[in-house]
């Protein structure tokens, strides 16, 4: 199987919150689309969304809690699978360009994108706001937004979230660097007779009441085994 669960985390940006990782089994990038701008050129990526998994992800929200994640797959491929509704997972579209981000936002999709020096501004009538955790050391995903919860977990927010693009020396993907790399790389070694979606739904059931979950610290909703 290709999914791993962490009930707790020491990650600096997210803080201590439940998290998941998803890989492509033999290739870490096997659940990611080819259009992802962060992957290595020789990565074996997914050609299609795993609908069964995506629908399970949309439902994977703790009791009285919230869940959120990001995808490089075009929203056209997943927007009908139950995301971004009350008591469902918020799935943000990770745009590759500012123009793409603005169009996605205008289409009603919660959207994020990254640039080297994020700034608050309006472009073509759309508000862009830097990620608070990138601007302030005391803010993490776990306490972002106060009682209203993380801004990335709000599907109806009125702005695009802009992350800081960190330049890594070898591979642009942040998840292929540092401690995150080791967890992601080991994800494909997990054995189970259950599907990723089945395992995910079972895991979410046992989380504490009111938990905030960050799905896919690394990985995406692609169909594992369907490679470019």
| pLDDT per residue as tens digits for the range 16-48 | 999 998 987 677 788 888 888 777 777 888 889
Confidence of residue 200 (pLDDT cuts 50, 70, 90): very high
Give 138-186 pLDDT, tens digit per residue.
999 999 999 889 999 999 999 999 999 876 556 666 666 666 655 666 6
Cα separation, 180 vs 126, whole angstroms: 33
pLDDT of residue 187: 63
Give 104-122 pLDDT, tens digit per residue.
999 999 999 999 899 999 9
| The residue count for the chain | 228
Q: Which residue has the tokens 């594992």?
A: 224
Cα separation, 214 vs 20, whole angstroms: 7
Distance of CA 23 to CAs 45, 59, 192, 200, Å?
A: 10, 20, 14, 14
pLDDT of residue 181: 59
pLDDT over 70, % of the chain: 86
Q: Contact, 110 vs 104, CB < 8 A?
A: no
With H, G, I as helix, E, B as strand and everything else as coil, classify residue 11. Answer: coil
Instruction: Give the tokens for residue 67.
Output: 């869940």
Cα separation, 204 vs 198, whole angstroms: 10
Instruction: Give the tokens for residue 167.
Output: 């330049």
Domain ranges of the chain: 3-218
Cα separation, 25 vs 28, whole angstroms: 6
Instruction: Give the tokens for residue 110.
Output: 């919660």
Give 72-100 pLDDT, tens digit per residue.
999 999 999 999 999 999 999 999 999 99
pLDDT of residue 27: 75
Q: Contact, 75 vs 109, CB < 8 A?
A: yes
Strand order in the sheet with 111-115: 3-6, 19-22, 212-218, 66-71, 90-94, 111-115, 160-164, 126-130, 121-123
Q: Which residue has the tokens 């201590």?
A: 16
Instruction: Give the tokens for residue 63.
Output: 């009791």
């Amino acid at each position: 199987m290709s999914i791993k669960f962490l009930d707790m985390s020491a990650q600096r940006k997210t803080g201590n919150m439940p998290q998941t990782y998803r890989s492509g089994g033999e290739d870490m990038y096997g659940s990611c689309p080819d259009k992802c701008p962060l992957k290595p050129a020789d990565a074996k990526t997914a050609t299609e969304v795993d609908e069964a998994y995506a629908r399970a992800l949309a439902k994977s929200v703790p009791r009285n809690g919230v869940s959120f994640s990001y995808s490089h797959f075009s929203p056209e491929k997943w927007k009908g699978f139950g995301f971004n509704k009350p008591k469902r997972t918020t799935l943000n579209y990770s745009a590759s360009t500012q123009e793409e981000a603005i169009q996605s936002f205008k289409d009603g999709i919660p959207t994020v994108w990254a640039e080297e020096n994020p700034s608050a501004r309006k472009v073509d009538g759309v508000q862009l706001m830097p990620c608070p955790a990138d601007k302030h050391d005391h803010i993490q995903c776990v306490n972002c937004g106060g009682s209203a919860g993380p801004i990335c977990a709000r599907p109806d927010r009125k702005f695009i979230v802009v992350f800081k693009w960190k330049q890594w020396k070898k591979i642009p993907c942040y998840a292929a660097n540092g401690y995150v790399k080791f967890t992601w790389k080991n994800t494909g070694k997990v054995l189970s007779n259950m599907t990723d979606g089945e395992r995910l739904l079972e895991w979410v059931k046992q989380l504490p009441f009111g938990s905030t979950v960050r799905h896919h610290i690394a990985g995406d909703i692609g169909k594992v085994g369907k490679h470019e």
